Amino acid sequence: MTRAWRWLLTALCCVCALPAAGAIASLHIDPAHSHAEFGVHVLWFGKVVGRLDALHGRVRIDTNGQARVDVVVDTRSLRMPNTDYEAFASGPGFFDSARYPFIDFRSVPFPVKHLGTGGSIKGTLTLRGITHTVRFDLLPQPCALLAGTSGASTTDTPAAASSAAPAVATTAPALAASASSAAGTAPAVAAPQAATAPADRGTCRVLARGYIERSRFGMRGHRFIIGDRVELDLVLRVRRSSVTQATPDATNAAPAVANPAVASSANLPLR
């Protein structure tokens, strides 16, 4: 074998050993253990809370320790403790679920360590076919699943994991008995509590809390009775799906569930 061939084979081996460009780790959002919640203030009644049980999405982590979250929520899965409120929230004055059944959130890249330590993330929220930039605050949720991920916090221990996972309410809470201001009312998601069972080290809990002005998304029903500020919370359980794969481009990405009525955010594929 000539020296030129030896150099060529060595170069090829070095190229094959390099990680693929755009390689990522993908975390799957478990729809069976995830949901969204929202809260609005109603004159004379205080805070009214609803729950959306159907959603899907993923968290993608690149080789630089940056994460992106994509979530699609189905508003037709709405549940509220009062049937009259449920009918209004599903109707044209609020979500208008018949025409716009999906809410789509896509974050911009953020440090993956924020999934464990907490922090703010920004992204685009598409609701009723209208898209605006919003911000969510991630609550601290140490997780062993992220320990081997580039840029993630490795401070999680079995003791920390078992005490950090909050007990989130499984049903929408009852109506508040008295009116209160938006700034001084308890959030829709229950406050973190001690877990009653050991945390599943193969999964992570992600809690995200944000606020929107419903009028910006065309939700103008009963403006003099229902407040404009809506709290929107994501309660997610993520699992590792594919370990490492090439980053798909938009044309090859799996599309979200099709909107049967009109074009909406759910027609956009997850990035």
Q: Which domains does the chain have, with CATH numbers?
A: 21-267 (2.40.128.110)
Cα separation of 70 and 153, whole Å? 21
* Burial tier of 187 (Cβ tally within 10 Å: 0-12, 13-18, 19+): middle
Cα separation of 264 and 271, whole Å? 16
In this predicted structure, what is the pLDDT of residue 6?
56
Query: pTM, whole model, 2 decimals?
Result: 0.65
Cα separation of 79 and 90, whole Å? 10
* Burial tier of 271 (Cβ tally within 10 Å: 0-12, 13-18, 19+): middle
pLDDT in tens, the chain (271 residues): 566 545 545 544 443 443 444 446 889 999 999 999 999 998 888 899 999 999 999 999 998 999 999 999 999 999 998 899 999 999 999 999 999 999 999 999 999 999 989 999 999 999 999 999 999 999 998 887 776 555 554 343 333 333 333 333 333 333 233 333 333 333 444 443 333 334 455 788 999 999 999 999 999 888 888 899 999 999 999 998 644 444 333 333 333 333 333 333 333 334 4
Please name the amino acid found at residue 188: A
In this predicted structure, what is the pLDDT of residue 3?
60
Place of tokens 């407040």: 227
Buried b (16+ CB within 10 A) or exposed e, 67-83: bbbbbbbbbeebebeee
